[in-house]
A and B are shown apart, each in its own frame.
Chain A
Amino acid sequence: MKRFLIGAVLVTASIAALSSAAQAQDLQLWALTLADSTSSAAWQKVISDFEAANPGVTVTYTGRGTDEHKAALRVAANSDQAPDIFFSWGGLGLGGEFIKSGLAVDMTKYYDQYKWKDRFLPAALTFATQYPGGTFGVPSSFRGEALYYNKAAFEKAGITAPPTTWAELDADADKLVASGIAPIAFGGTVNWHVMRMLDAALEAECGAAKHDALTATKAKWTDEPCATAAFVEFHKWTSKYFLKPFMGIDDSQAFNLYTAGKAAMLLEGDWLVNRLSDAGKLDSTGVFPIPTGTGRLYGFGDYYYISSKSKYPDLAAKFLDFLTSTDEQVANPGLYGAISVNKAVKSTATTPLALAWNKIFADAAGLYVNGDQAFPLDITTEYWRIQNEVASDTLDPTAAAGELQKFIDAHPVN
């Protein structure tokens, strides 16, 4: 009985507290867990600066794990409990879902008001305008992926310079095998890691236009011989050049295997620089863009969207403007990874590896995104399943394109 009373009192008190808080303006921002103390400190500073400049306003950042964030958002996004601002990756199957369900605010007027078209990297902006009905979301970060390599291992194998064509890459892989080290390490349990190899093969075999058409399901996978060629090439890599076994480990383990000297390369993103630094491998590692021959950067962007359920969309836009402003980005480099989405912000990189990344970003002639960003969710799952079957030698690579197309035909993208 006493417990009931206590419970009742607490409920009343919390309702009272919640309703009184509602008079102040409270922005809720849902995103991912902040990785380290630098980024947490950066965010805390930005939030307190914004609150100081806007009295009566509070901003709350709630960070969750990747899958947990997706689950919480999916359940709450269409309710009155939705956050004002939410983070999502820019691709069709991810952020696109919310846009197509009408849960993201069209921000065209904010783009005009704050002149964001002039602020952000063009590559980062592509995701905002790829949907009919307006401009959605503000870039949060922009990431690129390339091939890291162990300089000593390359030297030992007799590779004098990083490869610039796919044929050279294949030849270099053979040299590495001959010198006794596995060319590359991948983690198979996280499907999106091994997927990167397949994406690269598709880009190399099909070229930019066909690759885009295939991932947009506008071209049939069974009609384009380059698709099958890509699967075959992918299979060649998984059987000859991947450090084995890889299907049972994750990307962190792959990283450990690289730092332990068991593999010569990693296909990873710009975020790895910090981890390499922590592991003391910064100087012994180099990076080169994936030699697909199209010159496009392999990368993706993530975004902040304003929820259509938000009570304060203007305030949310104001915060996003503040967050991505040149002053704030320059003052708090913990907010971004290798490069800021704000093109006016100069990189503070000094290490050779970080400078190499700047060059990769600068030289890129276009962008192709990770497969799981390009496809809708169900096709992504099937894409991964087929990729894993090929990698485990249980599906003939020449049959893979047909399997995928069969699924696409049964689940058309509307």
Chain B
Amino acid sequence: MTTTDSPVSAERSRRQLPSRREVWSGRSPFVQGLVMLAPAVLIYAVFAFYPMLDVIHLSFLKWNGLTDNRPFVGFNNYVQIFTADPVFWVAFRNVVIWTSLSIVIPPMIGFSLALGLNQPLPGRNPLRAVYYLPVIIAPIAVATMWRWMYDPFSGLFNQILTGIGMPGLILDWLGDRNVALYSMFAASVWQSVGFSMVLFLAGLQGVSQTLLEAARIDGAGRFGSFRYVTLPALRSTVTIVLILSLINSLKAFDLVYGMTGGGPAQSTQMLAMWSYTQAMQLGNFGNGSAISVVLLLVTLVIVVPYLRWTLRREDASA
């Protein structure tokens, strides 16, 4: 409730800006907004954003993590990773493949599952739990499990293929560099579908039942109501899932770490994994940070325009 004791403050209130009295009394929306923002922003700034800046800073230094001496080397690290590092470009290419696959396949499957499990089917709660189960298991455990399944001698897939009489299809799932990345991707699909399924399910709850009912009464079949009611209502969910899938796949780490360690012969390396390897295992924090910065830039270049486009669209339709 705003008191209007002068034309100026009336005008300010109308424009939703705080009047001077409101600001000082702490009741202005602006101050409230600040108070609500503060805890998250402060903690994030100190414990996440500052380390990020530190990483960017490190990318211009040479450091092995053990000494106090961290000489400035300018762009030397970047030059090194771009020109003198045989693995960097392999990792880059793998990230491109991995990401392209990850923003299409798991969300599609997750979406289909969410739609299917939103229907009146018996036992859908246990079914949802089953599909979500892989997300719950620690990534290292997932990696170990799938490594066993892919074992070229006694692995599950080999046993099945032999059992149905098609041993010719047996490949060295994790040892053949042409196949290894995709074998890992199968494990990644298994693990990440539940993530998008859960988000889509939540989004589906926001689809207006009234509208659906109206559409049905008007004679729209199941596809019609899907297309004209459900899908538009899910727009922001789709954006969220796509962007998060994109960002998460660019950061792929745990599965690579557990399943191949980047092998065979560094052919399944990815940027996040290679960055970690450089810093923690090779003791080259300069290079490791430079790789992270490249990853960040790539992510920014892809995500920011998309974000701004959707934000602008939402503002327009709001």
Contacts and interface: CB of A to CB of B under 8 A. Distances in A.
B66 interface: yes
Nearest to A395: B265
A248 B66 contact: no
Contacts of A274: none
Contacts of B68: 78
Contacts of B280: 70-71, 74-75
A388 B281 contact: no
Given A74-B283, A77-B66, A388 B176 contact: no
Interface in B254-285: 260-261, 263-266, 277, 280-284
Interface in A217-252: 245-250
Nearest to A257: B153
Contacts of A385: 86-87, 265-266
Contact of B176 (A74, A248, A378, A410): A248
A37 interface: no
B177 A97 contact: no
A14 interface: no
Q: Which of A77, A97, A101, A247 has the most CB of B within 10 A?
A: A247
Contacts of B159: none
The secondary structure that dominates the B interface is: loop
A392 B177 contact: yes
Interface stretch (B167-175, B240-248, B305-313): B167-175
Q: Which of A245, A391, A407 has the most CB of B within 10 A?
A: A245
Interface in A335-366: none
Q: Which of A101, A103, A246 has the most CB of B within 10 A?
A: A101
Interface in A376-412: 377-378, 381-382, 384-385, 388-389, 391-392, 394, 407, 410-411
A189 interface: yes
Nearest to B282: A377
A97 B64 contact: yes
A411 B175 CA distance: 29
A371 to B, nearest CB: 15
Interface in B216-260: 260
The interface size bin for chain B is 20 to 34
Contacts of B282: 377-378, 381
Contact of A248 (B64, B174, B283): B174
Interface in B134-157: 147, 150-153
Nearest to A98: B66
Contacts of A189: 174-175, 260-261, 263-264
B64 A388 contact: no
A70 B284 CA distance: 14
Given A98-B66, A247-B172, A377 B150 contact: no
B36 interface: no
A382 B84 CA distance: 12
A289 interface: no
B177 A249 contact: no
Contacts of A384: 265
A67 B265 CA distance: 19
Contacts of B260: 189
B64 A101 contact: yes
Q: Which of B151, B172, B260, B264 has the most CB of A within 10 A?
A: B264
B26 interface: no
Contacts of B147: 250
A137 interface: no
B67 interface: yes
B264 A248 contact: yes
A246 B172 CA distance: 9
A377 B281 contact: yes
22 contacts: A67-B281, A74-B65, A77-B65, A78-B65, A78-B66, A78-B67, A97-B66, A101-B67, A190-B261, A191-B263, A245-B152, A245-B172, A246-B175, A247-B172, A248-B151, A248-B176, A257-B153, A377-B283, A388-B263, A388-B264, A394-B265, A410-B84
Interface of A: 67, 70-71, 74-75, 77-78, 97-98, 101-103, 188-191, 245-250, 253, 257, 262, 377-378, 381-382, 384-385, 388-389, 391-392, 394, 407, 410-411
Given A189-B174, A247-B264, A381-B281, 6 more contacts: A74-B280, A77-B65, A97-B283, A246-B175, A382-B86, A394-B177
